[in-house]
């Protein structure tokens, strides 16, 4: 029965994802473009946008992701211990149900970057299985809750916190499976993605980023269109000895899915440890844009953006699917603003590299990307190695783009990118691997990029509208502390985003002009979503500063190199916002 | 120099307290009526009130009190560890200064009722002393911060947490003194009020609720107008042995001051322990409305409302000063909605009892108050004693009124009362006194009063407009969970208040009609304030559920008798709101 109920469930989810009333997955639909066709709120009236209602989650660690809305019910995720709240939108003043897991507090001490969670998944029901809300818990457990009443339907352990493996990624439902990633590359965790059956949590497939071909899902036609990206055997051959077993390549970012191609896309993260001297080789398939057959996990293509990473340019960032004409040719594309300072556009059918543009003209680690081989060419001055203290490296380890969920307007063919503007000094050191302990091997100092205010530690971010066809930016604006959470684009010619210092902003998506802003209780590291209820368009955004840039505030740290260097870069943030955790919902009414 | 600078400082404070732009003390001015003459926001336009800006304090315990505003700067108090934030109202998106004390975490375990704080005091500067913000810390320290930059000016220890004495009361500036109360009557703390010099924190006077006359401030003319209230010697004679030394009578509520009479008014709290069998006698001067000469602390009059308390009807509630005609005669009054279910109005010049009305017709512990003696007459059925299990006692230990700061409209001559509607069963038990340990001796079950929904544990509060002259209520409305924090009245014919489940409401103060409501991130236990900035009227209210009714939510308790009985009464609250901590500021713009 799996086959047919799976197809029905997928059809239902796709249908829901296309409606205005529902918001059923990260990025709104499988293209992950976080674009809404609604235009009730638009450039003319957005100045009148006001808070309609609010909800505090009762938790203070950073709030990432965005809520889901299905059939008039909103599902809210929250930071550790990852409570879930269901609110009936006809009366959001009362909690319909709540799920408050008791988690092993040990999970707290092995999370790298605050105790965040990037969102929930929804399964619309199918076969004998009811509609489900799926929640990834920091302690590595995946739980499926009945959407109706929040009761536990199944639970499965995905990650073992004893070896430092946590779970912050939003689960992702495709057909009757839920895809779950992994975290912990700062502790030597070998990354993997797993597909579980939504019916009972049974494992359908699990694929790793490193190791033997079978475990990576590499078959005969892997990278057949682009053999220069590398083919068989490299998950072992590009590592010294057993280093691949503690080699990182987790995936804690975002997914996209193409139902026609039956491929799921995501990026694998940084190799472990950060100290490059300790792991000679390309370290495949970390830092890779992966396209897998969703039914069996097989890797159709893999393009490694940063071979042998020297900077923690974890490659997990958002991937958005678009169909555009490039140089006059209709193409099925995926676009990925990477942490290494380059925004990549690939032919998503076969992995062909179509565009590789700098996210900002201040990137200095690369001179360019060789479009034939796909290999970025380095400036050794800004490399990191034991015999060289790297200074003024741009981007910093946070990348020029981190976990932000961006958006894409298919009418304008523009991507709205939430960009970091942070550079760094990097001093490596050697250290032994110990299971469940941090395994990094570098001391970082971070500070604003060249366009920022280095005196006052402001100007740490940008927002830009990117045109892939012309490899250019339609507009870009500086931000005081960065729009860490990402953007929402709407047919109202608007782009929305929240900033780390707590401003929710709306700009004209054509021109970048600031049309509206609102000071939220605490800084935002989630991304906005929009939905319609009873004919009214609402826009919602979590507040709750945290994430990697917020660790100084969250854990009350002072040493500028603490928090893997984040404390120094964001030293001024505490003078603009304090912790909080909740949701604001806006409308014109 | 003290004398003259004191007078100047007081004049300055009084002047500020009368302006619309400033809000310089709890209850707005020395009458403590929390009434504003502003009418920019009024019954016609309040429906358009909207959130102007917000601020999260980064703390989750209950947020009581209300912010201060002086000269365009807002000062925000918060729950433990009692951070203070100053925000420039021209740019409230940035923190002007912050004070984050490191407190002894042991204070947490001896606080009775969540880790709350009721607000700050402002001293406008005088002599060589700069303008100060004074903050009471839960760990018993009083700190004076320079209003300009938040730096510490002086610090003094008022309460010893080792014996269970904490500090939650808002400090109160009169002349060049700051009056500070005490908490801990649930741990056998002997209550006192202390006046410190604002110049250096030196003690000016300290007066106790129990013990020898000198230590209570009882002189020859004490209660001269009402000798039947009791005179000398009773602080010892109404106690068995040394019981007065651990006899309670703390004061953690609110103050009022009459500059012409030079008297400061406040109520002393419950005798300790709650179990009445363990402390025979009237237990004077617990449960007493006190009027003290502010210069030397001498007690001018004291009226004990609940002699030999059997129910924890701590007598610390708000006292509001008004000048009204009663039965045609101009009188200087004080009005005090007491926890014991009776609202008292006294002649504030001499303590004469003018009115003693039930807060609700469901009060059953008393039949009436003898207006000659001032003694309330009991119905023994609803008493508590070792040989009697009291059931359906109304009010409960929370009283029909607790820490709410009410308001009074001098035009309408109406008091806006935030009333509880909770009854209880009470089972006493004996226990030994141990310093620093809870010393209560009773197990409580609480539930809605007769007008509430006892099936669903809703209908736990009311809001009422009280007319003292006619001893009647102009209007009253039920509330789902009570308006625990109190009310604000304005010349816009409005009364504002927040509810435990997180609704901020505005009613027509003449009729009680609901004109506007807004769902805040978390429940409110503070009271609203209003101020003008650049010509615009703003209304502000803390969110952050907690206090005694919120302990179930705050400390994750399930046993209905836990939290001294609060958990059972408020079992439904968790389905309406979660913790939070911050401020919402509203305007018509
Ligand atoms: O390597 C990993 O497994 C891992 C996990 C996470 C995470 O789970 O949040 C982050 C990172 N790395 C990381 O490199 C990073 O920059 C980062 C930022 C954040 C955040 O939420 O702000 N998480 C993470
Ligand atoms: O006897 C005391 O010293 C004392 C202190 C406090 C306090 O400091 O908050 C409360 C009480 N008692 C009390 O009886 C009470 O009902 C109460 C409610 C609250 C609150 O903030 O909700 N505090 C207190």
List the structure tokens of B136.
């009471």
The 3 state secondary structure assigned to A41-67 is CCCCCHHHCEEEEEEECCCCCCCCCCC
On the question of a cis peptide bond just before residue A367, with omega within 30 degrees of 0, the verdict is no
Q: Is A112 in the pocket of ligand 1 (CB under 6 A)?
A: yes
- How far apart (Å, rounded) are the C-alpha atoms in residues B483 and B514? 14
pTM for the whole thing? 0.97
Using the beta-carbon criterion (under 8 Å), do B54 and A521 form an inter-chain contact? yes
- How far apart (Å, rounded) are the C-alpha atoms in residues A4 and A278? 49
CA of A545: which chain B residue's CA is closest?
B58
CA of A472 to the centre of ligand 1 (A): 28
- How far apart (Å, rounded) are the C-alpha atoms in residues A498 and A492? 18
Which stretches within B341-387 are classed as H helix? none
Query: Which residues, including other chains, have CB under 8 Å from residue A146's CB and lie 6 or more apart?
Result: A130, A131, A132, A133, A152, A153
Q: Dihedral through CA B216, CA B217, CA B219, CA B223, nearest 10?
A: -70
List the structure tokens of A316.
């997990």
First vs last Cα of chain A: how many Å apart? Answer: 47
- Ligand 2: which atom is nearest the Cα of residue B184? 3
pLDDT value of position B433: 96
| Structure ipTM | 0.96
Tell me the shortest Cα–Cα distance from B58 to chain A, in angstroms: 4
DSSP B287: T
The closest CB to that of B94, out of A54, A92, A576, belongs to: A576
First vs last Cα of chain B: how many Å apart? Answer: 47
- How far apart (Å, rounded) are the C-alpha atoms in residues A114 and A484? 14
What CA–CA distances, in Å, run from A265 to A42, A51, A309, A414, A418?
A: 32, 36, 21, 20, 20
Q: Is A570 in the pocket of ligand 1 (CB under 6 A)?
A: no
Q: Is A269 in the pocket of ligand 1 (CB under 6 A)?
A: yes
CA of A48: which chain B residue's CA is closest?
B589
Dihedral-angle region of residue A321 (phi above 0 means left; psi in -120 to 50 means alpha; beta otherwise): beta
**Pair A471, A463: CB distance under 8 Å:** no
- How far apart (Å, rounded) are the C-alpha atoms in residues A168 and A172? 12
B370-373 own/partner pairs: CB under 8 Å, 24+ apart:
B372/B228, B373/B228
What CA–CA distances, in Å, run from A386 to A187, A241, A272, A427, A485?
A: 20, 20, 16, 8, 34
CA of A519: which chain B residue's CA is closest?
B53
Which of these, A428, A432, A451, lies nearest to A441 by C-alpha position?
A: A428
**A373: phi then psi, degrees, rounded to nearest 5:** -85, -20
The closest CB to that of B575, out of A56, A94, A521, belongs to: A94
Query: What is the pLDDT averaged over residues B482-493?
Result: 98
pLDDT value of position B142: 98
Using the beta-carbon criterion (under 8 Å), do A55 and B521 form an inter-chain contact? yes
Where does residue A75 rank: exposed (0-12), middle (13-18), buried (19+ CB within 10 A)?
Answer: buried
Strand partners, A122: A133
- How far apart (Å, rounded) are the C-alpha atoms in residues A311 and A393? 9
Which of these, B373, B384, B471, lies nearest to B424 by C-alpha position?
A: B384
Query: What is the pLDDT averaged over residues B373-385?
Result: 97
| Alpha carbon B211 to chain centroid, angstroms | 24
pLDDT band at B9 (very low <50, low <70, confident <90, very high): confident
pLDDT value of position A1: 43
Return the SS3 of A112.
Answer: coil
**Pair B501, B541: CB distance under 8 Å:** no
User: What does B235-271 look like in DSSP terms, one character per residue?
Assistant: HHHTSSTTGGGG-B--B-S--EEETTTTEEEEE---B
Query: Which residues, including other chains, have CB under 8 Å from residue B377's CB and lie 6 or more apart?
Result: B366, B367, B368, B369, B370
pLDDT value of position B1: 42
CA atoms within 13 A on the CB side of B497: 34
Helix (H) / strand (E) containing B5: helix B2-18
CA of B70 to the centre of ligand 2 (A): 28
Shortest-distance Cα residue to atom 10 of ligand 2 = B113
pLDDT value of position B3: 59
- How far apart (Å, rounded) are the C-alpha atoms in residues A235 and A207? 12
Query: Which residues, including other chains, have CB under 8 Å from residue B81's CB and lie 6 or more apart?
Result: B59, B100, B101, B102, B103, B137, B138
- Ligand 1: which atom is nearest the Cα of residue A248? 1
Cross-sheet strand order for the sheet of A442-448: A390-393, A422-428, A442-448
- How far apart (Å, rounded) are the C-alpha atoms in residues B267 and B291? 9
Which of these, B569, B215, B259, B55, lies nearest to A502 by C-alpha position?
A: B55
Using the beta-carbon criterion (under 8 Å), do A576 and B521 form an inter-chain contact? no
Using the beta-carbon criterion (under 8 Å), do B576 and A93 form an inter-chain contact? yes
Using the beta-carbon criterion (under 8 Å), do B578 and A85 form an inter-chain contact? yes
Query: What is the pLDDT averaged over residues B123-143?
Result: 97
Shortest-distance Cα residue to atom 20 of ligand 1 = A547
Maximum alpha-carbon separation in chain A: 64
Query: What is the pLDDT averaged over residues B355-367?
Result: 98
B contacts of A522 (beta carbons < 8 Å):
56, 58, 582
- How far apart (Å, rounded) are the C-alpha atoms in residues A385 and B126? 62
B101-118 confidence digits (pLDDT tens): 999 999 999 999 999 999
Return the SS3 of A242.
Answer: coil
- How far apart (Å, rounded) are the C-alpha atoms in residues B566 and B500? 13
CA of B99: which chain A residue's CA is closest?
A575
- How far apart (Å, rounded) are the C-alpha atoms in residues B544 and A126? 41
B contacts of A50 (beta carbons < 8 Å):
50-51
- How far apart (Å, rounded) are the C-alpha atoms in residues B219 and B242? 22
Q: Is B551 in the pocket of ligand 2 (CB under 6 A)?
A: no
Collect the ranges in chain A with pLDDT lower than 70: 1-3
How much is the CA Rg of chain B, to the nearest whole Å?
22
Using the beta-carbon criterion (under 8 Å), do B94 and A575 form an inter-chain contact? yes
Interface of B with A (CB under 8 A): 50-51, 53-58, 60, 85, 92-95, 98, 501-503, 518-522, 543, 553, 574-582
Would the CA dihedral through A287, A292, A294, A295 be positive or negative? negative
Length of chain B (residues): 589
């Amino acid at each position: 029965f799996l086959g047919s109920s799976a197809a029905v469930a997928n059809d239902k989810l796709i249908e829901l994802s296309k409606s205005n009333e529902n918001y059923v997955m990260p990025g709104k639909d499988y293209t992950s473009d976080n674009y809404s066709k609604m235009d009730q709120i638009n450039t003319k009236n957005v100045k009148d946008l006001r808070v309609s209602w609010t909800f505090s989650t009762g938790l203070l660690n950073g709030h990432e992701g965005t809520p889901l809305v299905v059939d008039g019910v909103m599902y809210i995720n929250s930071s550790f211990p990852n409570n879930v709240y269901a609110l009936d939108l006809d009366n959001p003043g009362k909690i319909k149900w709540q799920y408050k897991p008791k988690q092993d507090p040990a999970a707290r001490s092995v999370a790298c970057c605050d105790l965040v969670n990037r969102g929930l998944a929804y399964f619309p029901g199918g076969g004998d299985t009811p509609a489900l809300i799926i929640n990834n818990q920091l302690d590595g457990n995946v739980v499926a809750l009945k959407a109706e009443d929040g009761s536990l339907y199944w639970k499965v352990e995905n990650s073992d916190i004893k070896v430092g493996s946590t779970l912050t990624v939003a689960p992702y439902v495709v057909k009757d499976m839920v895809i779950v990633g992994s975290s912990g590359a700062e502790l030597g965790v070998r990354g993997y993605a797993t597909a579980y059956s939504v019916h009972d949590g049974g494992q359908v497939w699990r694929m790793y980023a490193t190791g033997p071909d079978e475990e990576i899902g590499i078959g005969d036609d892997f990278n057949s269109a682009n053999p220069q990206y590398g083919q068989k055997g490299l998950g072992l051959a590009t590592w010294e000895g057993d280093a691949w077993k503690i080699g990182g390549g987790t995936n804690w970012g975002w997914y996209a899915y193409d139902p026609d191609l039956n491929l799921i896309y995501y990026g694998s993260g940084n190799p472990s440890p950060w100290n490059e001297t300790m792991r000679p080789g390309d370290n495949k398939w970390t830092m890779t844009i992966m396209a897998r057959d969703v039914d069996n996990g097989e890797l159709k293509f893999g393009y490694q953006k940063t071979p042998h990473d020297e900077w923690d340019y974890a490659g997990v960032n958002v991937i958005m699917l678009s169909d555009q004409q490039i140089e006059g040719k209709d193409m099925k594309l995926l676009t990925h603003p990477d942490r290494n300072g380059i925004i990549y556009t690939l032919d998503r059918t076969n992995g062909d590299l179509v565009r590789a543009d700098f996210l900002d003209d201040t990137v200095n680690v690369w001179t360019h990307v060789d479009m034939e081989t796909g290999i970025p060419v380095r400036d050794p001055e800004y490399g990191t190695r034991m015999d060289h203290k790297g200074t003024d490296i741009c981007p910093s380890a946070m990348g020029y783009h981190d976990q932000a969920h961006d958006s894409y307007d298919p009418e304008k063919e523009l991507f709205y990118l939430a960009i970091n503007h942070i550079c760094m000094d990097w001093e490596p050191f050697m250290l032994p691997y110990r299971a469940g302990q941090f395994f990094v091997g570098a001391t970082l100092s971070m500070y604003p990029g060249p366009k920022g205010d280095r005196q006052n530690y402001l100007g740490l971010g940008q927002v830009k509208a990117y045109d892939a066809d012309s490899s250019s930016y339609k507009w870009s604006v500086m931000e005081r502390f960065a729009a860490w959470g990402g953007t929402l684009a709407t047919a109202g010619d608007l782009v929305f985003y929240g900033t780390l210092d707590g401003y929710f902003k709306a700009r004209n998506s054509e021109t970048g002009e600031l049309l509206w802003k609102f000071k939220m209780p605490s800084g935002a590291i989630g991304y906005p979503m929009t939905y319609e209820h009873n004919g009214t368009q609402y826009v919602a955004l979590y507040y709750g500063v945290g994430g990697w840039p917020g660790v100084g505030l969250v854990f009350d740290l002072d040493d500028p190199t603490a928090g893997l260097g984040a404390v120094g870069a964001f030293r001024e943030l505490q003078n603009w916002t304090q912790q909080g955790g909740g949701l604001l919902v806006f409308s014109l009414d």
